[in-house]
Structure formats: structure tokens, C-alpha cells
Structure 1
Amino acid sequence: MIATVAGSYQIPTLGLQILLAVVTTSISVPLIYLLRRYVDQRPWSGLGLSSVPSGFRYFLLGIGFLALVTAAALLIGSAAGWLRILDFHFPIVTMLVILINVPIAFFYEAFPEEITFRGYVYRNLNTRFPRWLALVLQVVMFVLAPIAVTAFMVAIGIGTWDLITVEYIINLVAFGTVLQLSRIVSNNLWMSIGFHLAWLEMVRYAVVPSQYAFIEIEYLSVWGSYMVTIGSVIIGIILLIVWSLRSKNRIDWNGIEPDLPPDSNPETKEALPAQSV
């Protein structure tokens, strides 16, 4: 809706993107903080968002994990004959575009969405439901959110249902699952943020059928496109599930994590299951 209103003032595309990024984070993050602090009366730390210095390695882990599953998807797609890797480039223009787009994508999509869904929504669900059910319910809410927004825009006459397709919903289910698994397995929201941001840049600029991409590919079948976009995510889901089942860092999928108020006596708190990378 903001984009529609701003468009009527003929704001340039880059200016509109910056505006949307600023508005989205400026509204969502303070709202989540107020809900967490005054409605739930629970500590902000429960969301899994550590400080930037301590979370930076998890952020890089998310980026590195996306690079790993993308490489696996390219190898599988190439072996299956669905795509062909044509060349590797390091175009200065694309690097500059990514440098401009990264902060926009971070504040418009990756950061506010992860704080909201993989942080706040999941954390509240896991105080009442087992981890596996909290994950499923979070994914359901992640899918319903854009559907509800679209329905509202259609109702007031400024939107259509064109974007809500079966393929779009499947992408949301897979994407919401891999991001929540990243949060659960690493026990840090920064891994989800890093993966989310890296995936956005990958499908937009890094691995596309263009001479301006870092990895120029040619799709020989529609399955090649699916392999890069959703196949990489599914590979990520499989690897994270295997990771969660390792004996050293096994996740208790039936576990419910209590979320005590900030003024609770630390000596009376239940010990939470240790999770490490």
C-alpha cells in the first residue's frame, strides 16, 4: 500500500525501496519490542537475537550455508541436465548493485521478517507447543501473512491475487521451514538473517542467466530454475534436519521452552537444553 501511494508521487525506484526499508523496520522492530516488553513481559533475549559482535559469526554461517546448498543445487541441476553453468564473472557493476541492495534487502525483508516470524512468533509458540509443532505453526502463519495482506489490498481495490500462486505458496513453506530450522539448530537468529539475506542476493544477482551474474547459468529445463530457487532451500532443510539429529547436538523436538519474565529468580528457572553449532 505504501508503494502504491508513493508511486502516485513518482518517487524513483531506488528512493521507493529505501523508503519501504526504513518504514518496514521502523514499524516492525519497535512493535515487536513493545509487545515483548509490555504485553508478553518477557526478555528480548528470548528471541534469539544476540548482540551484533557475538551474532556476526552466525550471520556469516548463514551466508556460508546458503553458498553450500546453492553449490549443491547447481551440481545436481547440472548433472540432471536441467541447467548449464556457462561462465564465472566478477562484474564491478553487479558488485555495486549488490552493495546498494544489501542494506535495503536487510532492513526491508531479512531483518524485520526474521525478528517477527522466526523470532517473536516462533518463541511465543514454543512456550506452549513442542518445537516441531511451533515450527509448523510458524510456517502456516508465514504463509497466511502475505495472503491476508493481499486480501486486504484486494478488498480496498489496490491489489490483485495474481501473485498468490501454488508455486509461491510452496516457496513460502520451504523458505519458512529452512529459516526456522536455522534458528533452532544454531540457537541464534542471526543465522536465519544471514541465510535470508544471502538467498535474496543469490536469486537476484549472483546465480542467474545473465552475463552480469557472478555465476552465469543457462536453464535447459524449467526444473533448472526450480533447482536453483527452491531446490537449494530443500537441500538446506535436509542438511539442517540431519544436523539436528546428530548425537552431539541433538534437538529435542518435543521440547517446550518456558519463557520466564525478566524479574524471575534465576535460581528457579528451568535449565534449557543446550544447543550449539
Structure 2
Amino acid sequence: MIATTASSYEIPTLGLQILLAVVTTSVSVPLIYLLRRYVDQRPWSGLGLSSPPSGFRYFLLGIGLLALVTTAALLIGSAAGWLRIVAFHFPVATMLVILINVPIAFFYEAFPEELTFRGYVFRNLNTRFPRWLALILQVVLFVLAPIAVTGFMIAIGIGTWDLITVEYIINLIAFGTVLQLCRIVSNNLWMNIGFHLAWLEMVRYVVVPSNYALIEIEYLSIWGNYMVTIGSVIIGIILLVVWSLRSKNRIDWNGVEPDLPPNSYPETKKAALPTHSG
């Protein structure tokens, strides 16, 4: 709706992207804070968003995981004959576009979406449902959100169902799952944000069938495209599930963790709080 209104004023594409990023974060973050503080009356820390300095290593971990699964997807796709790596490029223009797009993608997509769905929505679900069920319900809500928005836009005459395809739904399910697993196994939203942001840049500028990409590829089959976009995410899901089963603090998938206000914990209970707070 904002984009439609802005286009009537002939705002340049970059200006529109910056506007959307500012509006999205400026609305979502204060709203979640108010809901958390005055409706839920629960601590902000329960969402898993630590301070940037302490979360930076998790942010890098998310980027590293994306790099790992993308490499695996390219190798598998190449071995299967679905794609071919043509060349590696380092075009200055593309690097500049990435530098400009990163903060826009961060504030428009990665940060507000992770705080909302893998932070706020999942945390509230896990106070009532087992962790495995809270994960599934979060994914369902993640899929329903764009469908509801599209339906609303159609109802007011400014949208179509063209973008809501089977492939799009599958992408959302896989993406919502891998990101929620990042939150669960790391107990820190910065890992989600790093993975989310890196994936956006990967599919837009890094691994693309074009000579402006950092890694130029050629799709020899439709399965090559699926391998890069969906296959890499599925590989990430597999790795994170294995991580959750082998980690020292093994995930209790049946765990339900009521999110009590800080002053409701006796001092003896504070010390015994679980490592994974959902």
C-alpha cells in the first residue's frame, strides 16, 4: 500500500526502498515492544534479541551457515548436472549495490521479520505449546501473513494473487523452518538475522545466472534453480536438526516454557533457568 501510494508521487526506486525499510522497522519494533511490555508484561530479553555486540558472533554464525549450505547446494547441483558454475566475478558496481542493499534489506526484511515471527510469535506460542508444535504453528502463521496481506490488497483493489504460487508457499515453509531452528539451537535472534540477510543477498547478487553476479551460474535444469533457492535451505534444516540432537545442551522438543515476569522468580529459581529459553 505504501509502495502504491509512493509510486503515484514518482519516488525513485531506491528512495522507495529506503522509505519502506524505515517505515517497516519504525512501526514493527515499537509495536512489539509495547505488546511485550504492556500486553504480555514480559521481559524483552525473552525474545532472544541480545545487544548487538554480544550478538555479533551469532550474526556471523548465521552468515557462515548460509555460505556453507549454499556451497553444498552448488556442489550437489553441479554433480547432478542441474547447474554449471560459469565464472567468479568481483564487479565494482555489484559490490556497491550490495553495500547499498544490505542496510535496506536489514531494516525492511531481515530484522523486523525475525523479531516478529521467530522472536515474538514463537516465544508466545512456546509458553503454551511444546517447542516442536510452536515451531510448526509459527511456520503456519508465517505463510498465512503474506496471504492475508495479499487478500486485503485485493479487497481494496490494488493487488493480485499472481505471487501466491505453490513454489512461493514451499519457499516460505522451508525458510520459516530453517530460521526458527536457528533461533532454537542458538537461543539468539542474531543468528536468524545473519542467515536471513545473507540469503537475501545470495539470491539477488551472489549466486545468479548473470555476469553481474559474484558467482555466475547457468541453470541446466529447473532443478538447478530449486537446488539453490530451496535446496540450500533444506540442507540448512538438516544441519540444524543434527546440531540440536548432538549439542551439549540437547533441545527438549516437548518443552513448554512459561514466560514469567522477572520479579516472579525467586532467587533460587533464577539460577536454574534453562539455557534454551524458547
- TM-score range, shorter-chain basis? over 0.9
Partner of 1:103: 103
Amino acid at match of 1:243: W
The answer (yes or no) to whether the contact 1:41–1:262 under 8 Å persists in 2 is no
Alignment match, 2:61: 61
Q: CA deviation at 1:36?
A: 0.1
1:275 Cα deviation after fit: 4.6
Q: Secondary structure at the match of 1:216?
A: strand
Instruction: Provide the secondary structure at the position in 1 that maps to 2:160.
Output: coil
Distance 1:58 1:235 in 2: 19
Deviations 1:206-260 (A, max 9, x none): 0001111111100000000010001000000000000000152310000111211
Unpaired stretches in structure 2, ≥5 consecutive residues: none
CA distance, structure 2, for counterparts of residue 118 and residue 100 of structure 1: 26
Q: Which amino acid in structure 2 is aligned with residue 141 of structure 1?
A: L
**For the residues of structure 2 that align with 1:151 and 1:48, how far apart are their CA atoms?**
32
Partner of 2:160: 160
Q: Which amino acid aligns with 2:37?
A: R
Which amino acid letter does the alignment assign opposite residue 199 of structure 2? W
Matches within 5 A, 1:162-241: 162-241=162-241
Q: Alignment partner of 1:245: what SS?
A: helix
1-structure distance, mates of 2:186, 2:115 = 15
Q: Which amino acid counterpart does residue 258 of structure 2 have in structure 1?
A: P
- Secondary structure, counterpart of 1:119 in structure 2: helix
Q: Is the 8 A contact 1:25 1:112 kept in 2?
A: yes
2:275 maps to: 274
Distance 1:21 1:247 in 2: 36
1:265 CA drift (Å):
3.3
Question: What is the deviation of 1:267?
Answer: 2.0
Amino acid at match of 1:125: L
Q: Residues 1-277 of structure 1: matches in 2 within 5 Å?
A: 1-246=1-246, 248-267=248-267, 269=269, 271-275=272-276
Report the CA distance between 1:266 and its aligned residue: 4.1
Q: CA offsets per residue over residues 141-168 of structure 1, 9 Å max, x none?
A: 0000000000000001000000001100
Amino acid at match of 2:70: T
Is 86-95 or 186-195 further displaced after alignment? 86-95
| Secondary structure, aligned partner of 2:263 | coil
Tell me how large the CA RMSD over aligned residues is. 1.2
Q: Is the 8 A contact 1:260 1:269 kept in 2?
A: no
TM-score by length of 2: 0.97
The alignment covers a number of residue pairs equal to: 276
Secondary structure at 1:263 match in 2: helix
Rounded to whole Å, the distance in 2 between the matches of 1:50 and 1:152 is 34
- Once the two structures are superposed, what CA deviation does each residue of 1:8-65 show, in whole Å capped at 9, x if it has no partner? 1110000000000000000000000000000000000000000000000000000000
Overall identity of the aligned pairs, in %: 88
Taking a change above 3 Å as real, the CA distance of residues 247 and 9 of structure 1, as seen in their structure-2 partners, is closer
Amino acid at match of 1:273: P
- Structure 1: any 5+ residue segments left out of the alignment? none
Query: d(CA) in 2 for partners of 1:247 and 1:63?
Result: 20
Output the CA distance in 1 between the equivalents of 2:77 and 2:126.
Answer: 37
Given residue 122 of structure 1, which amino acid in structure 2 is its aligned partner? F
Q: Indicate the SS of the match to 2:218.
A: strand
Taking the aligned partners of 1:193 and 1:160, their CA distance within structure 2 comes to 29
Q: Is the 8 A contact 1:257 1:272 kept in 2?
A: no
